[in-house]
Amino acid sequence: MMLLSRRSVLAIAAVVDVALHARPLPVAAKLLAARHRLPPRHLETVLQTLVRAGILKGVRGPRGGYELARERRRISAGQIVRAVMAAQEDEGLPPLPESKLVELVIGPSVKEAGEAFLERLDSVTVEDLCRDAEARSVFGDTAAPMDFTI
């Protein structure tokens, strides 16, 4: 069972991908989407959320794209997930049931578990994930830019 939403997993993957590929130029959303076999429109809203949260920085222009807003070691998976979760709260999801069961029993237990989960994600930095990706040669030679023709 996956505890994170697809959007949260996508956000973490996007930030790690940008961390691995944004040198010397920012990463174009189209290239990022191609590497993850996604339509660019699915990715763009997540990228904009990450820019608003100060995790990514958008660079305009013909060679524009996305780069990290701060060092890899200063961004945690927990911060990325929180940014996406905050954006989802604004999307008008259905309300939680209003009952004493939810208020007094289920809500506090789920909140405590969620906080423990996010605390664990806070201990995982983008730097850690990049090192793991590089050790596993996830993208082959990450030092060289990947050539995608779209």
Each residue of 122-143: pLDDT tens digit?
999 999 999 999 999 998 754 4
H/E run at residue 65: strand 65-68
Residue 149 domain flag: no
Contact 64, 58 (CB under 8 A): yes
> What is the domain range of residue 125?
6-135
- What pLDDT score was predicted for residue 68? 98
Q: What is the mean pLDDT of the chain?
A: 89
Name the nearest CA neighbour of 13 among 118, 86, 58, 27: 27
How many distinct structural domains can be found in the chain?
1
Residue 1 domain flag: no
- What pLDDT score was predicted for residue 21? 95
Residue 140 domain flag: no
Residue 114 domain flag: yes
Residue 56 domain flag: yes
Residue 66 domain flag: yes
pLDDT at 104 over 90: yes
Residue 86 domain flag: yes
Each residue of 72-95: pLDDT tens digit?
999 999 999 999 998 876 566 677
Give the CATH number, domain containing residue 34: 1.10.10.10
